Structure 1
Amino acid sequence: MGPRDRDDRDPFDDIFRELSRMMDDMIGADMGVDVHTAADAGFGDDVHITTEEDDEHVYVVADLPGVEKEGIDIKCDGRTLTIGAASDRRQYEERLRLPTRVDEHGAKATFNNGILEVTFPRADSADINLD
């Protein structure tokens, strides 16, 4: 067993994750959006990553508490998003398989108050100019 044995777990972690998943499912159903949630996606218990998609875009929202903008490194190959984040105490790196292929060159990202938002155009909705 690792440094965080099962006996050390906060009993409310599982409840919080399930409530969060249920809320994401309800929001996605109300908005007609496919929502995928990874409550503990490698960053630890305090980080939450959500992906959503619609007909034109894929959206990724990551809660990165304690991380400054300068400590974030984002890479995408069109199918997998890698988020690297560093704070004074920890370093994180998470690879997230996107729900569909995206145009990584058209990505837009913002980071405010510990919330990273990345928007990708879907590759299947991108206009392709043929000469």
Structure 2
Amino acid sequence: MRGDDRDDPFGDIFDEIERMMNEMTGTGGAVGDGSGFSSETHVDVYDESGQVRLVADLPGVEKEGIELKCDGKTLTISAASPHREYDERVRLPARVDEHSASATFNNGILEVTMDKLGDSAAIDVE
């Protein structure tokens, strides 16, 4: 048996991870699968002291084509360019005050910053 004829012991694990990631992000397929949405959007989320910061690459998009929505737990990024559409739902690592959000967009890079909400208050039982 040659080395390249053996089963890759990690192949099934990587296939399963990719399947689960596709389920979580709703991409279900590869780029160009006909859905109109790109699965190559790169989004980084940073949990910083007192704030959550999100940085997303949206190449080819104009600022006017970006729509952001936040419910305190999830940030939805919708954007369109003549060649692509982006529709990303990003679960935030901490609950945030969506009314504190500020966003900048420069050279295809979107940066959104939101204040974290404090821990839940304890309730005394009397």
After TM superposition, list the pairs within 5 Å mapping 1:76-115 onto structure 2.
Answer: 76-115=70-109
Instruction: State whether structure 2 residue 78 is matched by structure 1 residue 68.
Output: no
After superposition, what is the alpha-carbon deviation per residue over 1:86-119, rounded to whole angstroms, capped at 9, x for unaligned?
A: 0002222111100010000000100000000000
SS at match of 2:96: coil
Q: Aligned letter for 2:50?
A: E
Q: 1:52 aligns with which of 46, 54, 78?
A: 46
After TM superposition, list the pairs within 5 Å mapping 1:18-37 onto structure 2.
Answer: none
> How many angstroms apart in 1 are the aligned matches of 2:109 and 2:69?
17
Runs of 4 or more, structure 1, over 4 Å off, are none
Q: Name the counterpart of 1:24.
A: none
TM-score, normalization by structure 2: 0.63
Q: Name the counterpart of 1:4.
A: none
User: Alpha-carbon deviation of 1:54?
Assistant: 1.5
> Can you give the 5+ residue segments of structure 1 that lack an aligned partner in the other structure?
1-40, 126-131
Bigger RCO (CA 8 Å, 6+ sep): 2
Which one has a bigger Cα radius of gyration? 2
TM-score, normalization by structure 1: 0.61
User: Alpha-carbon deviation of 1:44?
Assistant: 2.5
> Can you give the 5+ residue segments of structure 2 that lack an aligned partner in the other structure?
1-24, 28-37, 120-126
After superposition, what is the alpha-carbon deviation per residue over 1:62-85, rounded to whole angstroms, capped at 9, x for unaligned?
A: 000011101100000000000001
